[in-house]
Structure 1
Amino acid sequence: MYKVNVSNPCSCFIRNGFVESQEFTTKEEAKEEANKLMQTMKSNFCQKHDFSMSEQFGDFNIYIKPRR
């Protein structure tokens, strides 16, 4: 199983009904969902946060950090 995990979810993330962890049967599905989620957050959220993503052992970790 491959996972997409979101660390430190902001209020926009929660308000939009997203979940902090999802599992997928293929790495390609997980990567596609992680990229889709990153694009949605960058274009539709309040712009008070920065988003970054890393891959580790086939799992995709998305980090939400306050902008400086």
Structure 2
Amino acid sequence: MYKVRVENVCRCFLKSGMAENLEFETQEKAKEEAQMMIEKMNSSFCQKHEFSLNEQFGDYTIYIKART
């Protein structure tokens, strides 16, 4: 199983209804979902945060940090 996790969730993320932890059968599906989540977050969230994607051993973590 390949995982997508979201670290340091913000208020916009909590309101979005997206899941913080997801599991997928293939690494390709996990990567595709992580990229779609970041795209949605960048286009519809309040723009007070930056989102980055980190891949390690086939698992993906989305980090949320305040814009400077």
TM-score (norm 2): 0.97
Matching residue's letter, 1:7? E
Whether 2:45 is the aligned partner of 1:45: answer yes
1:7 correspondence with 2:17: no
Aligned length: 68
Q: What one-letter code is carried by the residue in structure 2 that aligns with 1:28?
A: E
CA shift, 1:19, in A, is 1.2
Query: Where in structure 1 do 4 or more consecutive aligned residues deviate above 4 Å?
Result: none
**Matching residue of 1:54:** 54
Ranges in structure 2 where 5+ consecutive residues have no aligned partner: none
1:6-62 deviation line (CA, Å, top 9, x unaligned): 000111111010111100000011000000000000111000000000100000010
How far, CA to CA, are the matches of 1:27 and 1:40 in structure 2?
20
User: What percent of counterpart residues are identical?
Assistant: 57
